Amino acid sequence: MDALTRDQAAVKVLEHAAPMFSGIDDIVINDPYVLEDETAWVFPYNSKRFLDTGDINFALMSNNPVLVCKRTGELHTYPGALSAEDMLQAFSAGQ
C-alpha cells in the first residue's frame, strides 16, 4: 500500500520547490513527463509561464526533478546529470 497518492506526492514536491524559487508566480508539475515505477514517482516541475509559453526567460534553473518514495513519502533529489529513468534505477538499487 502506498503511503500517499500521486496527487499528494506532487503537492509535497511543490512545497519542497517553493522556497527555492520565491518570487516565481506559479510552479507546477510538468505532468506529461512524470515517471513512475512500483516504488516511486519522479516529478519534473517548472514555472507555469514557461510551460505555457516555452519562453526560456521564464524557465526555472537548477530545478532537478524530485523523486518521491511511494512507501514512505520521502523526497529524494539526485544530481542534474541523471535522467528521471536513472533516478528510478538508482532509487531501486538503494543509492
Q: Are 83 and 92 a contacting pair, CB within 8 Å?
A: no
Cell of 62: 537548477
* Residue type at 94 in one-letter notation: G
Q: What is the pLDDT at residue 13? A: 98
Q: Write down the domain spans for the chain.
A: 6-92
Q: What is the pLDDT of residues 15-36, one digit of tens each?
A: 999 999 988 879 999 999 999 9
Query: Which set of grid coordinates corresponds to residue 1?
Result: 500500500
Section 67-93 average pLDDT: 94
CA of 28: how far to CAs of 16, 17, 65, 68, 89, in Å? Answer: 12, 10, 12, 16, 25
